[in-house]
Chain A
């Protein structure tokens, strides 16, 4: 495995690290994985997860990856413009894809992201057909009747919860927000500029479009209070006829930031395996003349 710093763009470049397998272990010279920022954490990722995933991809799957900072995050300087962070994220991923295509002839991409990174991966996949797969950790999903039952039932039976509810209603207990929770004044705390969750109908439509394109999708849902059971994603989007292009992992004991080493190890291994198989199957589906040598590392 070998890593090198790469900057993309002449003016106010995007800064990233290309992580490549040894040449004799390269599985697919046409597909690269691009790892996106989560919120305002720089490209190493939450608890260094992006570095761990990148190295697992190179060493276990023989895949090249590029982890970089969006403009205004980490080591990439802010760029002037009128685009929102959501809009510029798609543009910048496409700029990176163009660069890797021109420089190293990668013409297929798998996008990886956690939380806001997952949202950016999804939106870029909608905008660009070079994206053949997405790996989304805690990507868009909505509650179902079952998840609501699982969420609210224990609360309905909890005297403490009812006590808290009445105290709040009577104005005897205040709900803390922002600086009241953190104890840190807003001016000294930078939070991501997340757009609101889109309406569910919009995501259904987007997923339908991606599914029609047979985009490969790996969704990983971690321990969060709104994702309650393994099949929630499929039931939430049951109007979309997913085939074997969808794989969902639910790891409820893991925290949203993957704070435990064992969770990071398991998830990075799962991702490396899925990416390898996705690249392999995409290659196999191509006409024989377009195939590239694949080597199981």
Chain B
């Protein structure tokens, strides 16, 4: 693996490239992180997925959006559009490094919605894999608001910060501009318009997942798998444990192992 910085100097991005091993596939994979505490707790799973996909012959890049992880800046003034731009930079970097013409996107939670948005107008993208996807940006923001409100009585210091509207949730800030942009996006609108194969791989069942599955079921190449595994990425214990939902990671690997070489 090779870790490095790339992208524009004013908003440089941290990335880790995993070169392909064995089979020489003409398709690379870009991994799109979830947000906040979920990102922190998913690092191991995302890394392990990258390593295992590289062993299947896929060059893989994982990276941190601007204002997150080791990338530049913080989230002040950052919008969801900026993160979609970052995905675009990462796609180009990956294509250059791996010398491929097509890139598959895998997104976890909010990363799935961002990946879908990025793929809307980008013909470099070969397939879209949505892992426990956030279906609706507005629903996601509302969900965070209600968790914060619900936890107030138990002494949580996560709060709705009123002066500028920033949400402070589980140690991370979601600024107003980000909330505003993400709230207008939904997979119901974006995903069915895609002509590339879509996979929906989930760790549990829910009404929203079922609804999305139904709306995508007629799409060419649609794949669905339920791989039961824990999925509370926001669970924070007192010793800093992290989630390791191996069954769903394995399911994504199986999907790529069976995919035809482009």
**Cβ-based interface call for A261 (8 A):** yes
A5 touches B4 (CB 8 A): yes
Interface residues on A, range: 35 or more
Residue A259 is within 8 A (CB to CB) of chain B in the complex = yes
Contacts of A183 in B (CB 8 A): 230, 232, 235
B168 at the interface (CB under 8 A from A): yes
Considering the chains assembled together, what is the distance between the CA atoms of A267 and B223 in angstroms? 48
A258 touches B171 (CB 8 A): yes
How far is A42 from B72 in the complex, measured between Cα atoms in Å? 17
Residue of A nearest to B3 (CB): A5
With A5-B5, A41-B240, A51-B69: A185-B157 Cβ-Cβ less than 8 Å:
no
Task: State in angstroms the CA–CA spacing of A38 and B238 once bound together.
Answer: 12
Set of chain A residues within 8 Å of B158, measured between Cβ atoms: 259
Whether A40 is near chain B, meaning CB under 8 Å from some CB there, is: yes
A222-273 CB contacts (< 8 Å) to partner B = 255-261
Q: Is A30 part of the binding interface, using a Cβ–Cβ cutoff of 8 Å? A: no
Contact with B47, one of A75, A190, A256, A258 (Cβ below 8 angstroms): A75
A46 at the interface (CB under 8 A from B): yes
A75 to B43, CA, bound (A): 9
Q: Which of A135-164 contact B (CB under 8 A)?
A: none
Residue of A nearest to B248 (CB): A188
A188 touching B243, Cβ below 8 Å:
yes
Q: List, in ascending order, chain B residues with CB within 8 A of A74's CB.
A: 43, 47
Q: Check A115 for interface membership: any CB of B closer than 8 A.
A: yes
Could you say which of A5, A38, A182, A255 contacts B237, with CB atoms under 8 Å apart? Answer: A182
Question: A187 vs B243: C-alpha distance in the bound complex, in angstroms?
Answer: 9
Q: In the complex, what distance in Å separates the CA atom of A115 from the CA atom of B158?
A: 22
Indicate with 1 or 0, residue by residue over A155-199, a CB within 8 angstroms of chain B CB atoms: 000000000000000000000000001111101111110100000
- A-B contacts, 26 of them at CB < 8 A, read A5-B3, A5-B4, A5-B5, A5-B14, A7-B3, A17-B14, A38-B240, A39-B239, A40-B44, A40-B242, A41-B40, A44-B69, A47-B37, A47-B171, A48-B68, A74-B43, A75-B1, A75-B3, A182-B237, A183-B230, A184-B230, A187-B246, A188-B243, A190-B242, A191-B237, A261-B168
B163 at the interface (CB under 8 A from A): no
CB distance from A97 to the nearest CB of B (A): 21
Q: Do residues A189 and B244 form an inter-chain contact, with CB atoms below 8 A?
A: yes
* B250 interface residue (CB < 8 Å to A): no
Q: Is the CB of B69 within 8 A of A48?
A: yes
In the complex, are the beta carbons of B157 and A255 less than 8 A apart? yes
**Given that A5-B3, A189-B242 are contacting pairs, would A44 and B40 also be in contact in the complex, using a CB cutoff of 8 Å?**
yes
Sort A-B residue pairs by CB-CB distance and give the 7 closest, nearest first: A39-B240, A47-B171, A259-B171, A191-B241, A5-B3, A184-B230, A188-B230
Task: Look across to chain B and name the residue whose beta carbon is closest to the beta carbon of A67.
Answer: B70
Whether B244 contacts A192 by the Cβ 8 Å rule is: no
Taking A39-B239, A46-B40, A75-B47 as known contacts, 7 extra A-B pairs with beta carbons closer than 8 A to each other, sorted by chain A number, are: A39-B241, A41-B43, A75-B1, A182-B235, A184-B230, A184-B243, A189-B243
Chain B residues touching A, range: 35 or more
Chain A residues with Cβ below 8 Å from B37 are 47
Q: Are B44 and A188 in contact (CB under 8 A)?
A: no
Cα of A7 to Cα of B2 in the assembled complex, Å: 9
Query: B251 — which chain A residues lie within 8 A by C-beta?
Result: none
Greatest chain B CB density within 10 A among A15, A43, A182 is at A182
Interface: B255 (CB within 8 A): no
| A3 located at the interface, meaning its Cβ lies under 8 Å from any Cβ of chain B in the complex | yes
Shortest distance from the beta carbon of B63 to any chain A beta carbon, whole Å: 12
Contact across chains for A46 and B43 when beta carbons are under 8 A apart: no
Chain B residues with CB under 8 A of A288 = none
Q: State which residues 1-34 of B face A: CB under 8 Å.
A: 1, 3-5, 12, 14, 16
CB of A4 closer than 8 Å to a CB of B: yes
